[in-house]
Structure 1
Amino acid sequence: MPLTSYVVELNQWNKTQTTCGANGMQAKLVSNSPSLYKPLCGFILLVAGSLTSPFTMADASCDTNLASRVGPRDYFDQKHHSTGRIDIVEKNHLTPEMLRLEKGNTSTISADLHYTLNVIPNHPAALDLASRLDKAMRSFPERYQQEVMQRSVSCYFKRAFLYTPSQPYLHYIFAIHLHRNQAYEQAAEAYARSQQFGFQNAEFSYKYGLTLFELKRYTEAREMVNLAM
């Protein structure tokens, strides 16, 4: 994906800007926190595909055009909730039965999920569901034989990060997905990014500790688990 003038709005920061680039690609960052330029710049270029990244697992045909008839809507932006549109999508296309991997609402789980992520690309529960459904389809093919993922899980995450790359909770959900698929090194990196962007609670510390344990980084793992207690 050519990235020549991609402007990243870092939440409510809007004071200074810088530009980063690699392999002929550029990203423009708007922030009042220069310490975040380097890690965020590197991550954006990873998402865009200019460097080796977890997103190289996604299909080359991953559609990164986020425009749709009713979207995109930002799950983390309160004004997008105030219109009621996100609630309508969740009520019809992200039901409790879907989250339990039981059944879809208007169609199959995968079809309703696809609609949700088309409208709300960074919906954390929907992204986590995509990860869990993908694994369930591989683990129990007969049970989920009617399900067809219209995009790869990596593609859904790629679209989410292109929309809100500095959203810490998004990095947290991505880390959980990576750990779920035994990509522990990449999961640790995603947890570290989430923490760097300001997210940490007891559950985060516990899950991060589990990943560090898998990597045999026992001292760090113990420190994380202690934070969770």
Structure 2
Amino acid sequence: MLTLRPTAALLLALCAGPALAKPFCGDLANAFGPFDYRTPDPDQLYLVEMAHFTEDVQQGIKGNTGTLGADLDYTLRAFPNHTKALATMARVALRQKTPQLPGARYAVECYFERAVRFKADDGTAWAAYGQYLYQLGQTERALPLLKKAAELAPENASVNYNAGIAYAHMKNYPLAVQHAKKAYQLGFPLNGLRKMLVDAGKWDGKVDAPQVAAQE
């Protein structure tokens, strides 16, 4: 399991210096942005993605203007809660078994910290952060983040699925089943969570049809 640097809040608590002017994970102010990925200006998003989040970057193959880490860094400084870029950052770091990609300004976890610091009401950003920690094997740290994500985005299938997986691994089956049913009601396509709970004898795998509001 990787050993990551402490998160911003923890490091600041450990540092003796009221003189420390900026958080460990960096100031969010940026020459271009920061912008909310949920409601982007199409032109601003295009300018960033056409140069720094090309198909090769998204797939974690290679950078476009420099290193892969540098292009992801640019994207995530302009759009801190760019969930697709966060997912790529996590996937590449896990594959390379590194806490920081070459060319990136910060440790991988910092980009998740920056995302939720920028938009604390973005459930998908909290879910991405929790999923990254979960994939590192840090389930106890991941669970509160996944729980918060589900509270903020209760109608998001992916958020519910990831929360259900984490609860299942912690053997909190009632909550795992609750999130599984919600995820599948919302149309989540993967059956891993369903199989896990059915094999454990905690669920029959059946999902009630979503309720449809009556039309006037």
Q: Tell me the TM-score normalised to structure 1 length.
A: 0.65
For 1:170, the equivalent position in structure 2 comes to: 125
* Structure 2 segments unaligned to the other structure (5+ residues): 1-6, 15-21, 185-216
Is residue 180 of structure 2 the alignment partner of residue 225 of structure 1?
Answer: yes
Distance 2:88 2:170 in 1: 25
Q: Does 1:138 align with 2:100?
A: no
**Counterpart contact for 1:175–1:188, Cα < 8 Å:** yes
RMSD value, Cα:
2.6
1:191 shift after superposition: 1.6
In 2, the alpha carbon distance for the partners of 1:85 and 1:105 equals 18
> Which residue of 141, 144, 155 maps to 1:200?
155
d(CA) in 1 for partners of 2:154, 2:125: 10
Alignment partner, residue 107 of structure 2:
152
Task: Note if 1:81 corresponds to 2:41.
Answer: yes
Within the candidate set 58, 62, 68, 1:103 is matched to 62
Match of 2:26 in 1: 64
* Distance 1:112-1:153 versus aligned 2 partners, 3 A rule: same
Q: In the superposition, relative to structure 1, how do residues 164 and 209 fare at CA in structure 2: closer, same or farther (>3 Å)? A: same
Q: CA deviation at 1:130?
A: 1.5
- Letter aligned with residue 188 of structure 1: L
For 1:170 and 1:163, how far apart are their aligned partners in 2? 10
Q: Aligned in 2, Cα 1:51/1:190: closer, same or farther, shift over 3 Å?
A: farther
The 8 Å contact of residues 74 and 121 in structure 1, kept in 2 or not, is answered as: yes
Partners of 1:172 and 1:194 within 8 A in 2 = yes
TM-score (norm 2): 0.68
Structure index of larger Rg: 2
The residue type paired with residue 26 of structure 2 is T
Measured after TM superposition, the shift of residue 151 of structure 1 is 0.8
**Match in the other structure for 2:136:** 181
C-alpha deviations, 1:173-196, integer Å up to 9, x for none? 112111111111222211211122
Q: Greater share of strand residues, 1 or 2?
A: 1
